[in-house]
Amino acid sequence: MKLATIRVNGTTRAVRVDEDKAVDLGESDLVAFLRHSDWATRAADADGDTYEGALDYAPVVVAPEKVVCVGLNYRTHILEMGRELPSHPTLFSKFARALVGAYDDVTLPAASTQMDWEAELGVVIGTEVRHADTEQARAAIAGYTVLNDVTARDWQYRTTQWDQGKTFEATTPIGPWLVTADDPAVSAQGLNLTCEVDGDTVQKADTGDLVFDPATLVAYLSEIVTLVPGDVIATGTPGGVGHARKPARYLQDGSLLVTRIEGIGETRNTCRRETR
């Protein structure tokens, strides 16, 4: 199944996205819907109001309690940089205000001149989980989505802590939906992930190359803090980012940023320079 949050008449609604329509799930957004312990059954059986035609996708989770991100998590990219594989995940976080919808504009903040792309697989939690083993962690995953961790490099590297470069407001597209973890489309060992900027393919990888896979990440994070429905884990990006190029390349006003994951979907965002 595909589950999403859409904008309707000045508010938002949680929906199941079918081939020709979206079906209302009876909640204002997907985070509220995932709080039902039987959300999967409710989603499959839903027969509420329907929405047809072009849908206006909000961030798939509009107000998650947590957005946790992982750095340095693609094996091939780490090895080609001459580094050793990490023994533990590198973690940082985002605030919810960083998130935008799958087709919304991405803001290039006036304060930064080095906005970079980072295509990522997003994991959405569907069941509260704490101190999980791998099987419990896997069972706690509601599904997967597309995310781009657009990053202000000139702010990220001001200090050894990355958060300030990672969570500028309205910079992180996510969606357009989550594909539930039981869907055959996402059951493969690895999924093709690509990022395009103005028609150029700048990143290409297979999610099977992750050092720490989604279940491992959920289990690890659950040792630190309780994960709750609607929480997002951004699993890391492969090589090909603009900052590492020679010369470096960054997103510009008007750049078209397309992030695509096989079996899930794509985000397609125009970058707009902030005016103030």
Looking at residue 189, what is its pLDDT?
Answer: 72
Looking at residue 266, what is its pLDDT?
Answer: 98
Looking at residue 220, what is its pLDDT?
Answer: 98
Looking at residue 181, what is its pLDDT?
Answer: 96
Element spanning 274, H or E: none
- pTM for the model stands at 0.97
The answer to whether residues 104 and 97 touch, using CB atoms and an 8 Å cutoff, is no
Looking at residue 79, what is its pLDDT?
Answer: 85
> Count of alpha carbons within 13 Å of 103, Cβ hemisphere only?
10
Strands 22-24 and 11-17, sheet pairing:
antiparallel
Looking at residue 18, what is its pLDDT?
Answer: 97
Looking at residue 56, what is its pLDDT?
Answer: 98
Report the C-alpha gap between 99 and 145 in whole angstroms. Answer: 13
Query: Which positions of the chain have pLDDT values less than 50?
Result: none
The answer to whether residues 252 and 272 touch, using CB atoms and an 8 Å cutoff, is no
Nearest partner of 274 among 150, 156, 174, judged by Cα: 150
Residue 158 DSSP class: T
